[in-house]
Structure 1
Amino acid sequence: MEKVRPKKHLGQHFLTDLGIAEQIAMAVQGHMGVQQLLEIGPGMGVLTDYLLKLPMELYLIDIDSESVVYLQKKYPQLGSKIIEGDYLKENFDEQLPEQYAIAGNFPYNISSQILFRVLEERQKVTEVVCMLQKEVAKRIASPKGNKDYGILSVLLQAYYDIEYLFSVPPSVFNPPPKVNSGVIRLKRNSIEKLECNERLFFQVVKAGFGNRRKTLRNSLKSFQLAEDFKSHPILDKRAEQLDVADFVFLTQQIDASRGNH
């Protein structure tokens, strides 16, 4: 079988190290008893070989038609479980009606978008084990008060317990990326719904980090805070000093003050 050539416009860097592929696969725990696993961007199936050994039903999705043809030849037993499509746009209700886990070496140029999609699908996605650009992986796993801490950190940590597992050098990819990589694991926590207006919560978090150097009093001006709340000490802080619970509290206050207008 002819090898698939990595395409720059798709951000493809194919993993070549079998040991690392096995480590990533072994990190998938089947959290909350999920039976189905979706691999995003399998490329030539280096990680797929190890995911197939897990006691889960495996699905593959790749946007690259050349990869899909290659995977269909390599894994004829998967049949229609090999999907040519874009994870950011695909509707999985038919193929994956139950809860499922995700694994993959995510293309760096869309890794944040994939994780925002995971947030949209948070009632179905119980676990994610993925390789990302190291600084993005560190940011997502970062606690409050850290300069790496940002929008994705807060939003993902609201619904997932996150662990940074290990780092991966550029030399184990074809072609080698210009950056180091990191592998993280997200496991869905027990929070079905936040104790606030979730849509507003997302808006407050994004606005809070909109200008990291400003205090929240300045960055949240557009939300028309209630007069008696404007002097609250939490507003003297910057977004990176707040954890999920603080942002929930802030959202509750903003929501309540809207009701007073």
Structure 2
Amino acid sequence: MINHDSPASIRAFLDSRELAPRKRWGQNFLINPGARKKIISLLEIKRDMDVWEIGPGLGAMSADMLKAGASLTVFEIDPAYCLWLKESLISPKMNLVEGDVMKTWRKEWEIQKPDRVLGNLPYNAASVIIAAFIESDRLADICVFTVQDEMGKRMTAKPGTKDYSSFSVLCQTGARVKDGGRLSPGSFYPAPRVNSRIVVLHPEENFGSIDNPPLFRLIVRSLFSSRRKTLSNNIILASRNKEFPEQEILKDAFNSEGIELTRRAETVSPGEWVAVANRVGKG
């Protein structure tokens, strides 16, 4: 058995199987029992709920959720860890999906929409995974993710701050985003070089319905492309893209919403972005 609170125990287990944590897959095990307990609490799991876990690793969180009575689907990319999960988590309520979650989750969603989703997400893939759920309008009622501290701050950032970005707008227009707290490197084995952060997402249209989501995302991402430039200058740059709206239509939309084109994208609130994109969509 593995003591999931002990780096020595985890290291001994990995050595016994001639394994090592793989950086490219973000294999940093959460050894802080208080943090694991907090994440389980934030999920608000009730018996027989369908719960997804992305990147279960050696199964510390998985075991806790099965004990809580969840019907659990875990997505694991590492074949060696998949073998261990099959050995250690024997339960009729356990479903293991092997491979890259970005290639498998949509099929699983069609089979059974989850009530909850959690994941200790690899730093190099976290934004892609979260964006995929939001952009496809497929967020579970509660999602709890552990991400790099910098990304967590971007997800909750307010307009006019250095962390506010197009990703902030995407997250905040598709969900209610709550900061679940910071985790120090020592909460993990191996310890990463930076802090991590827990974020909680609830699907919610905080700033009204977006009429044309692809158009909305194109406008926001394009006008954040050069942060130091004004909206007016970024509109000119973005207009080189044939898919981008006509300059005058977009400028009229900003003016109609009382947004001066001398402002920068980082000062425009999520609600203002929604209003502008909806105006552009109506022509």
TM-score (ref. length: structure 1) = 0.88
Q: Aligned equivalents of 2:45 and 2:219: distance in 1?
A: 33
Aligned counterpart for 2:274 among listed residues 244, 248, 254: 248
Aligned counterpart for 2:84 among listed residues 43, 65, 70: 70
Q: Aligned equivalents of 2:93 and 2:278: distance in 1?
A: 48
1:238 lines up with 2:264 in the alignment: yes
Aligned counterpart for 1:224 among listed residues 246, 265, 274: 246
- Give the conservation status (yes or no) of the 8 Å contact 1:13–1:174: yes
- Aligned pairs for 1:8-19 (under 5 A) are 8-19=23-34
Q: What is the aligned residue count? A: 256
AA of the residue aligned to 2:252: F
Q: CA RMSD in A?
A: 2.6
Runs of 5+ consecutive residues of structure 2 not aligned to the other structure: 2-12, 240-244
Runs of 5+ consecutive residues of structure 1 not aligned to the other structure: none
Give identity over the alignment, percent.
29
AA of the residue aligned to 1:151: S
Deviation, 1:251, is 1.1
- Aligned pairs for 1:1-261 (under 5 A) are 2-3=13-14, 5-29=20-44, 35-78=49-92, 81-94=95-108, 96-189=111-204, 194-221=209-236, 222=239, 223-226=245-248, 229=252, 232=255, 233-234=258-259, 235-256=261-282, 259=283
- Distance change >3 Å, CA 192–CA 51, structure 1 → 2: farther
- Distance change >3 Å, CA 115–CA 80, structure 1 → 2: same
- Distance change >3 Å, CA 135–CA 218, structure 1 → 2: same
AA of the residue aligned to 1:61: F
- Distance change >3 Å, CA 230–CA 122, structure 1 → 2: closer
- Distance change >3 Å, CA 110–CA 179, structure 1 → 2: same
- Give the conservation status (yes or no) of the 8 Å contact 1:215–1:238: yes
More RCO (CA 8 Å, sep 6+)? 1
TM-score (ref. length: structure 2) = 0.81
- Give the conservation status (yes or no) of the 8 Å contact 1:45–1:71: yes
- Distance change >3 Å, CA 250–CA 230, structure 1 → 2: closer
